[in-house]
């Protein structure tokens, strides 16, 4: 069964500090891995998408890494800001012959930035 | 400007009273999805349209139906809402499967 596990479940850090969120998956055959940011009461917004051949991708202060061998990804946030407070969701896409059920969502990491 | 628009943002209905949630998109994307998201849980795919082709997830209750009258609009109909259907309902689009999805801000549904 395809699964995506995220850790930690929640995290509190001080403004200006860095943090790293983890995503482990057992999705096969792998197509791509996406990180989304979901603010409270809003829809998820795409941060990065990585395919098998990519092992790092940045979007401003967000840097995602992918190790397809160990089936692990991380999202590193640099110099955190109060606006980074949100849930971060890891989504892994499998090659499924075109079916949308190829997407497996993690439960997210709830990040709180304190001033 | 919002590209995936969901209306209303908040919807309250009575137990058993049919309700319709709407989603529109200005992206001209081929695929439109409906997800159910309960508190502290991952979004759960209910169904999706690829153009006019409707694809239902195996575990989506029959109580949930969808319509896509044209490329821009997609509706979620809940025929007889139960208390367990209270959730955030998210609409998403993408140009093709395996492309990043663009989500709306959701409709939070409450059942009285």
Residue of B nearest to A46 (CA): B100
Residue B61 predicted with pLDDT over 70 = yes
Instruction: Name the 3-class secondary structure at A28.
Output: coil
Residue A5 predicted with pLDDT over 60 = yes
- Identify the pLDDT of residue A98: 45
Q: Does the distance separating the beta carbons of B97 and A44 come in below 8 Å?
A: no
Instruction: Name the 3-class secondary structure at A100.
Output: helix
* B102 at interface of A, judged by CB pairs closer than 8 A: yes
Q: Does the distance separating the beta carbons of A93 and B98 come in below 8 Å?
A: yes
What is the pLDDT confidence band of residue B23, given thresholds at 50, 70 and 90?
very high
Residue B25 predicted with pLDDT over 70 = yes
As a whole number of angstroms, the distance between CA B92 and CA B30 comes to 11
Q: Nearest CA to CA, how far is B80 from chain A (Å)?
A: 25
Work out the average pLDDT over A45-73.
94
What is the pLDDT confidence band of residue B76, given thresholds at 50, 70 and 90?
very high
Q: A65-72 — which CB contacts under 8 Å span 24+ positions?
A: A66/A33, A68/A30, A71/A24, A71/A25, A71/A26, A71/A27, A71/A30, A72/A22, A72/A23, A72/A24, A72/A25
- Identify the pLDDT of residue A96: 58
Residue of A nearest to B102 (CA): A45
* Ranges A4-18, A83-97, B96-110, most confident: A4-18
What is the pLDDT confidence band of residue B1, given thresholds at 50, 70 and 90?
low
Q: Nearest CA to CA, how far is A42 from chain B (Å)?
A: 4
Work out the average pLDDT over B61-67.
95
* B105 at interface of A, judged by CB pairs closer than 8 A: yes
What percentage of chain A has pLDDT greater than the value 70?
Answer: 95
- Identify the pLDDT of residue A35: 96
Partner residue opposite B98 with nearest CB, options A31, A44, A46: A31
Partner residue opposite A46 with nearest CB, options B57, B101, B105: B101
Residue B65 predicted with pLDDT over 90 = yes
Work out the average pLDDT over A23-35.
91
Residue of A nearest to B101 (CA): A46
More confident residue, B88 or B39: B88
Which has the closest alpha carbon to A75: A96, A95, A94, A60?
A60
Chain B CB contacts of A36 below 8 Å = 103
Work out the average pLDDT over A46-50.
93
Work out the average pLDDT over A13-22.
98
* B90 at interface of A, judged by CB pairs closer than 8 A: yes
Residue A60 predicted with pLDDT over 60 = yes
């Amino acid at each position: 069964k395809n699964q995506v596990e995220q850790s930690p479940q929640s995290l509190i850090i001080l403004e200006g500090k860095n943090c790293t969120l983890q995503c482990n998956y057992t999705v096969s055959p792998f197509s791509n891995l996406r990180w989304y940011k979901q603010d409270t009461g809003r829809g998820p917004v795409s941060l990065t998408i990585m395919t098998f051949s990519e092992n790092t991708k940045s979007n401003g202060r967000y840097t995602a890494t992918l190790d397809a061998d160990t089936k692990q990804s991380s999202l590193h946030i640099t110099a955190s800001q109060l606006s980074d407070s949100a849930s971060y969701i890891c989504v892994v896409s499998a090659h499924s012959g075109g079916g949308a059920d190829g997407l497996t969502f993690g439960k997210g990491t709830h990040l709180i930035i304190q001033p | 400007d919002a590209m995936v628009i969901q209306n209303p943002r908040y919807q309250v209905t009575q137990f058993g009273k049919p309700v319709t949630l709407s989603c529109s998109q200005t992206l001209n994307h081929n695929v439109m999805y409906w997800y159910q998201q309960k508190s502290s849980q991952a979004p759960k795919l209910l169904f999706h349209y690829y153009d006019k082709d409707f694809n239902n997830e195996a575990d989506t209750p029959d109580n949930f139906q969808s319509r896509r009258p044209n490329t821009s609009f997609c509706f979620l109909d809940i025929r007889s809402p139960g208390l367990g259907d209270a959730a955030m309902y998210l609409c998403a689009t993408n140009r093709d499967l395996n492309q990043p999805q663009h989500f709306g801000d959701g409709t939070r549904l409450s059942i009285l």
